[in-house]
Amino acid sequence: MKKEEKEIEEKVIRILTDEKLSAIKAMLEKDHAIDCMFLLMLGRGQWKYAKEFMKKLGLTLPDGTFRSRMMEIELNGLSRHENIDAKKRRWIVTEFGKHVGKLLLGVFSHMADGGDCNC
Write the CATH number for 62: 1.10.10.10
Q: Is residue 69 part of a domain?
A: yes
Q: Is residue 17 part of a domain?
A: no
Q: Is residue 13 part of a domain?
A: no
End-to-end CA distance of the chain: 17
Q: Is residue 118 part of a domain?
A: no
- pLDDT at residue number 118: 55
Q: Is residue 63 part of a domain?
A: yes
Q: Is residue 1 part of a domain?
A: no
Q: What is the pTM of this model?
A: 0.88
pLDDT for 41-64, tens place per residue? 999 999 999 999 999 999 999 999
Domain, as residue range, for 83? 31-112
Phi-psi region of 89 (alpha: psi -120 to 50; beta: other; left: phi over 0): beta
Report the domain count for the chain: 1
